[in-house]
Each structure stands twice: as structure tokens, then as C-alpha cells.
Amino acid sequence: MNKLKGIGASNGISIAKAYILIDDVPNIKKKNISDSSAEVKKYYAAIKEATKQINNLKQKALKKLGAEKAAVFDAHLGILTDPEMERQVVEKINQEKVNASYALSDVSDVFKQMFLSMDDPYMQERAADISDVTNRVLKIIEGVKIKDLTLINEEVIIIAHDLTPSETSQLNAKFVKGFITEIGGRTSHSAIMARSLEIPAIVGCGKNVFKIKEDSKLLMDGNLGEIAVNPDNKLIKEFEERSKKIEEAKKIQQTFKNKKSISKDGWETKIAANIGSPNDIDGVLKSGADGIGLFRTEFLYMDSDDWPTEEEQFKSYKKVLESTKDKVVIRTLDIGGDKKLNYFNFPYEMNPFLGYRAIRFQLKNKKVLNAQFRALLRASAFGKLAINVPMVATIEEMKSIRKEFDRIEKELNKEGTKVGKYELGIMVEIPSTVELADKFAKYADFFSVGTNDLIQYTFAVDRMSESVSYLYQPFNPATLRKLKRTIDASHAEGKWTAICGEVAGEPMLTPVLVGMGLDEFSMSSSSVLEIRKLISEINKNEAEKLVEKVLDAETETEVKKLISKWMKEKGIEI
């Protein structure tokens, strides 16, 4: 029996046989050709077929995973139709008289290396997406059959170098009991999709995963990142007991559906869910969440062939607001950075995450701003609306945003269009906003902390870079101090604070956030009941004392030890 260790990326325990997934990328060789026009036609035919395949994958992902996770396929379609890549491939075929496969392979390698050499998350992800897309096109050109993972009809645990978004979206949880990869981290596309599908996953295991032989019996614990190969009966029994406990815990969690989110000593908070489109509402309702804490509107734009009209947006916002009696937080357009549009070319930037995006873009594109702001204010008459504006860095920006909403509200009133009551808040994801949180709280009705970006900007870390991923530290005292400062600043002005990043759904940080008095947790629907149950076991007054200790700590390791010790003393298991 061998044991392996990796990064637990999606919780759950599974026992099944190994299914080795080797990506059979064709061996591309350079060939001199005489009929370049035939090769160009072959290239375009492959692009057409790949577009059809990716659109099919997108539709399946929309049904299984929701709009937010399916949006990665919009990026893939954008790569397929990228005019610069297309120009270079066709030019290479015509000028060098080479085969289409070689031309595409050579050009895509240049693009991948260019993006990999740039030190920011968007470029890193872009390189992986280019590999996924171009490999598909190459297989079509070369006549290599693309593996259909939907055909798996027996219980297996997939072993792979990595799983692409197109592969992960095909997995059927009935048969695929988990997957284990050589590379990757908790924030990779495959890990995020696995959590949505509720499939156990362990990533970043290293090359030893390929020492596992096909059909070997595997035990995997996605919580702890542990793998056992051909285990003995004793270990199997131990894992089965662990699995039984997890299933029992899930049954208990179901008893918290549609209940209030209340601590052991009677303190009440809200647990809301994140969505990417109106199609995700069913998941929210099934989870019993306290409303919607983040509706990411950019997916309305990414799923469209042109700027969505005011009327199209109004219908989407109205539908979401009417779906629940609870509050709905809708975030204004957060385009740019890692989110691109097929119908708009953003200027090239070395650091797009730090550049022309979100509200910075809208304030300079009033036509786009007006359409969305008008749609939001019209929809406010149909439910409890809170509007959340991303990437606000200065008080001047906050004042400009408030001015725009006031202007549009007056316009609508003159037109005789009803505008309901609404709250106007901001995303706290830039360190400058935290530093001036006490000032922002005078102008904003609420704060919503985007911890993913806040941590990234605080530590100057590219969280998609394996080389520095250790610096992405949600438990670091620097992160926790920023959260405490933001919450305290809002409370001093009688306002409220939510967290809508990954931190909100992290069980180990729940007692700290309770101790800080967080007003609203917003997370994936699949995590709602787990966190609600956990909050019911926490005494807020005692958690406040834990907060004092973690804020005084020096390192993330020290913080984790303090929380683990506290939870053990209180008899709280996660």
C-alpha cells in the first residue's frame, strides 16, 4: 500500500478504481505543402467544428454548474475567434507553405509563452485556456478522437496531469467519484468546478500520481488531501467510517434549511448565496439561503453578442428580485481583468487586474453605465435591492457614483417610472478602501468585501502562480485585521458589511468572522447549510476573545493553530 499527499481542493471521501487520463495531444510535425488554400480551409473547418463543440459544452455547463462557472467557455470561444492568432496562422500557412496543424501549434506556442512570461493572474489563466482550445482544434485537424468523459459508466477516480474546464464540465458525479491531478491549486478552474459538482478533488500531488496503475483501488479524502493506493482492509474501514460521518453531517445540515442563521448565544447574521445569472436561482432556493449576496452581472454581458440593452438587463434583475422575499445584492459590471468581451477590445495593459476595469471603465463609458444603472433602478420597485459597485478606490469615485445614481433616479421620476427603495454600497477589495473605510462608510450604505482580490492586492501575489501561491494567505493577521477594520468602520456609522469572497465559505474562519460581528456571509449555494450549522455551535462572546488572539498573531500558521485549538476546546468539528 502506498500513500500520497496533495492539496484538498473539494471535500468528500471516495473509494473507487483508478482511471488514468492521458491527454493524447497529436504529435505535430512540420510538412511542406503545395496547396496552401486547402490547408487554410482545413484550419477554418476545424475552427467551425471546435466552436460547435465548445458551445455544446457551454450549454451543458450552464445546466450543471450555472452561468458563473460556464463563463470560462466564453473565453474559449474568444480564443477561437481571436483575430491576431487567426491572422498569424493563416499568414504562416500561406507564406511558409506549411500544414495547418504545424502553423497553429507554432503560433499558439508563441502566444502561450508570451502570456506565461507576464506576472499576473489573467495572463497565467489565459495560457492554460489557449492550450485547452488549440489542443481541441489540433485533434480535429489531425482526426484524433476527443475523449468523451460523459461515456464513463462505472465508478472511477480520475488521475490526470490536470483537468481542463472542458473536461471537468463533462464529469458525471454518479460515476466519477473524484479526481486527482499532478498540478493545480484550490483556485484552479477544475477545483472550483469540482466544488460546484460536489465531486471530491485533490490537486498538486506531483509526478508520483502517474506511478498509480490503471484499475488500482484508491481511497481519497478531499478534505485532508490524502490518497491511499491498494489499501488494506483496516484503512478501508477507517475511510468508510469517515465517509459515514460526512454523510451523517450532511443529513444534519439539511435540518438547517430555511432556518435563521443564529449563534449559540442568540446573535443573528445572514447567510446569502452568490449567483452569476437568473438561471442559478434554483440552487439558492434549494439551499435555503437568506437571499442573494452577490449577483455578478458581467455574465449577462459575456453571454451576449453585443452590449445588453437596458430592457434586457431590467428583465434579468426583475426576475431575480421577484424570486425571493429576501434582499438581493446586485454587483454592477465588473468587466476587464480576467473577463473579456467578444464585441469590445480593451486596450492592452501589462497588468489588466490593476487597470481599466469595472467602475473605472463605466465612468468613462456613460452609455454602458446609463443602461445598467437605469435597469437597476427600474428593477428596484420589484424587491429588496442593494447595488454593489466594484473596484472603488477613492472617495472622489464614490461621490461620482452616488451623483450618477441620483441623476438617473431624477430622470426616471420625470419619466413617471417608479423607483423603489435601494441601498448603494461598494466592494472592498483595494487596500486604499480599507484604509479609508471610516470615510467611505459615510457615503456607502454597506460594504461587501471581495476577499479574493483584497488578499491578492494586499500581498502583491498572483494567486494563479504556483511559485508564489503560498503568499495567498486568507488566515494571515494582515488579512484578518483588514476585515475587522472594515466591519468596525461600517458599524460605527450604523451600516452593514458582507463578505462575498472565498473566505465567507471557509469553515475554519467562521468563528473568527462571527467574533468580528460580520453581518452577512455570501457563498456558493452548496456551502450555505454547512456554515449555518457551524454558526449555531459558536458562542459569539467567546469567539470575540478568539479574534483578539488571532489579530495579535504574527503568522498564518500561528492563526490556524489558535483557531484549531479553540475549536477543539469548544468541541466543534468541521
State yes or no: is 161 an active-site residue: no
478-482 contacts at long range (C-beta below 8 A, 24 or more positions apart): 479/451, 479/454, 479/455, 479/503, 480/512, 480/547, 480/550, 480/551, 480/559, 481/551, 482/431, 482/434, 482/454, 482/458
Quick one: which of 160, 145, 22, 126 has its CA closest to 340? 126
State yes or no: is 500 an active-site residue: yes
Residue 157: in which H helix or E strand, if any? strand 156-160
Quick one: which of 41, 1, 78 has its CA closest to 344? 78
3-state helix, strand, coil in the chain (%, to 5): 55, 15, 30
From the candidates 76, 161, 189, 491, which is the catalytic residue?
189
Q: How far apart are CA 16 and CA 24, in angstroms?
A: 24
8 A C-beta contact, residue 204 and residue 184: yes
Quick one: which of 527, 1, 563, 92 has its CA closest to 289? 527
Q: What is the DSSP letter of 344?
A: B
The cell numbers describing 47, all together, are: 475552427
The set of residues, in sequence order, having a beta carbon less than 8 Å from that of 366 and lying 6+ positions away, is none
Stated length of the chain: 574
- Among all chains, which residue has been given the C-alpha cell 439551499? 287
Burial letters 119-148, b for 16+ CB under 10 A, else e: ebbbbbbbbbbbbbbbbbbbbbbeeeeeee
Q: Helix, strand or coil for residue 323?
A: coil
Across-strand partners of 160?
A: 21, 181
What one-character-per-residue DSSP string does 529-545 give? HHHHHHHHT--HHHHHH
Q: Any idea which residues carry the catalytic annotation?
A: 189, 500
